[in-house]
Amino acid sequence: MRAVRGFLLTARGWMLIAGAGSAAILASALGSQFIGGLAPCPICIWQRWPHVVALVIAALAVTVLWRHARPLAALGSLAMLVGAGLGLYHTGIERGWWEGPDTCTSSDITTLSIDQLMARIMSAPLVRCDEVQWDLFGLSMASWNAAISLGLAALWLASAARAPGK
């Protein structure tokens, strides 16, 4: 037990924890989609990609590319900062702070003709980015993703400070 605790407090252990965090985020996103029936909007899908990248980086950094762990840890942190940015962007859309892409939000329809309105309805996605489908303690999935991604970015940065590499 002491050896496991000692390992987890190393740069390699922190990278492993950060990678496991991204794996957990991906598992929860896929679980909520395929088990919970919550269809993702386009921005939800975008938010998954930084976690995929971080998971691959973690796998490489703790195994075959350990000698280059420092730059990989920096890349892992960058991936998580991108993920946090996407989560904050999506949160802003959900809360009405700014408009999202035309393909996944609704806007004023009073100036549209019947043909334009029908075209918009027929091309509209099934899930809108500006509606919260699920929340916990008042935070949507996008908000939780942003907060967790920031925490994972901090783990990556801490491991970069301790990791070997050029």
pLDDT at residue 108, rounded to an integer: 57
pLDDT at residue 55, rounded to an integer: 93
pLDDT at residue 20, rounded to an integer: 92
Distance CA 133, CA 31 (A): 14
- 3 state SS for 113-156: CHHHHHHHHHHCCCCCCCCCCCEECCEEHHHHHHHHHHHHHHHH
pLDDT at residue 63, rounded to an integer: 79
pLDDT at residue 50, rounded to an integer: 95
Domain architecture of the chain: domains with CATH:
2-162 (1.20.1550.10)
Q: What is the pTM of this model?
A: 0.75
Q: What is the DSSP string of 5-44?
A: HHHHTSHHHHHHHHHHHHHHHHHHHHHHHHTS--PPPHHH
pLDDT at residue 1, rounded to an integer: 59
Distance CA 148, CA 154 (A): 10
pLDDT at residue 98, rounded to an integer: 76
pLDDT at residue 54, rounded to an integer: 94
pLDDT at residue 51, rounded to an integer: 94
The one-digit pLDDT tens for each residue of the chain (166 residues) are 565 555 556 777 788 889 999 999 999 988 888 888 877 888 888 898 999 999 999 988 877 777 777 888 889 999 999 999 999 998 888 777 877 776 665 555 566 677 776 676 566 555 666 666 766 687 778 888 899 999 999 999 988 887 765 5
pLDDT at residue 103, rounded to an integer: 61
